[in-house]
Structure 1
């Protein structure tokens, strides 16, 4: 009887624990969401997207850009998403993101040329030079980089467009650097080239220090108000410095 009683006690404790705790936590969930016990698994709760929009007038200049004030941590993976609209009658061009550290000017770089060529650099290793896509209309763009896998995935309008590989560089990106939108840094917070300046509108720029799942990116494209949980940064006015003729635009709220 004592053995049977012990089994019953352990079984009851296990059942109580499974009912009182969520089936996963923020460290184990692939989608980094709030997990709740609902009898059918867990429920996902995206957070409300901050709404931001900035217009880059373009032209041959080195004065128009945004610098993020929030410190950037050391990262082995990250995702960046935004809506991008080119100037009327043109293809999207210019530097989308330039991240440098005192030791490395191209810790991360993403630039679109008017020809449609994508230049992507990670820890000064260039990948994606042969990737061609011309963004002539408002487009939702995401890049998800996982250094430990050696991959960078490009998503356009919620769908996977291309997976790029970089076999020779799988180190972490150093933290504490300068994160700039709109100009390329050939030196730390400097060395800008006017021919590489960004032209167009960037809306709802957000960054996560993890790789978003394809499902999260698809949801983000279809509903601008619902975002994957725990973003690392967005372009709130109090978190950035705006230079030159870059202007904030009014956007529809959620």
Structure 2
């Protein structure tokens, strides 16, 4: 067998793995935010419906544990809303995650270190009126959330916030280098319901499976890359190796 043949076999195996993962409901995405610049971010070209419950999950790895403020993983901005960052998920440092929902801040601190590759889920449940934070398959904390309604038709971006648009008139317009995310984001999904604890444990434990009813999954056809973010749609399905 020639070297070229080996490469072909490897490519075929990876393609089979990708197809298996897709059949299990998992879309694959990988974004590397290598520059500490506000111009580097990823935009979702689709729209979201009204959300009264949701789950947002992602694999992430911080580029450095020495920076006090690591920046925004997720920003969802609704035009005309009083607060543009209707949803903002912010890594403050390797042991603190901050979630803004409408005009309320929820701070989850003193969690296990997020220095390495980590899996996070933010879950809003209309049943218990709580916002839940899961890290690596385990619930770390919850907080009472008085305003559950997340309006439809906003702008969703990864790697930056959108507070340059205070009144929501110019969504998708990041302003500051200090707000950028610096590291990698993999397999970001949103579901229009609260995933149960077993589903979240399985998301962390088995990197090749996930609930098939996600309403947001990044793909080549719905992703807009801004700046020099590195994207990769070809990496194979892999189990949790954190």
Instruction: State the TM bucket, normalised to the shorter chain.
Output: 0.7 to 0.9
Distance 2:27 2:66 in 1: 28
Distance 2:109 2:86 in 1: 20
Deviates more, 1:177-186 or 1:86-95: 86-95
Q: How far off is 1:148 after superposition?
A: 5.5
Q: How far off is 1:65 after superposition?
A: 0.5
Kept in 2, the 8 Å contact 1:97–1:110? The answer is: yes
Out of 206, 212, 215, which is 2:195 matched to?
Answer: 212
Q: Does 1:237 align with 2:220?
A: yes
Instruction: Name the residue aligned to 2:186.
Output: 203
Distance 1:125 1:157 in 2: 25
Q: Does 1:225 align with 2:199?
A: no
How many residues are aligned here? 205
- Three-state SS of the structure 1 residue aligned to 2:109 is coil
Kept in 2, the 8 Å contact 1:108–1:124? The answer is: no
Alignment root-mean-square deviation, CA = 2.0
Distance 1:51 1:183 in 2: 21
Q: Does 1:131 align with 2:114?
A: no
Instruction: Using CA pairs under 8 Å that are at least 6 residues apart, name the structure with larger relative contact order, 1 or 2.
Output: 2
- Three-state SS of the structure 2 residue aligned to 1:189 is coil
Q: Does 1:83 align with 2:63?
A: no
Instruction: Name the residue aligned to 2:152.
Output: 175
- Three-state SS of the structure 1 residue aligned to 2:221 is helix
Larger Rg: 1
Kept in 1, the 8 Å contact 2:38–2:177? The answer is: yes
Out of 42, 64, 68, which is 2:40 matched to?
Answer: 64
Which structure 2 segments of 5+ residues have no match?
1-22, 166-170
What pairs with 1:1-254 in structure 2 (closer than 5 Å)?
Answer: 47-59=24-36, 61-87=37-63, 90=66, 93-104=70-81, 105-114=84-93, 116-128=95-107, 131-133=109-111, 134-147=113-126, 149-166=128-145, 169-186=146-163, 187=165, 188-249=171-232, 250-253=234-237
Which structure 1 segments of 5+ residues have no match?
1-45
Distance 1:215 1:172 in 2: 25
Q: How far off is 1:191 after superposition?
A: 4.5
- Three-state SS of the structure 2 residue aligned to 1:227 is coil
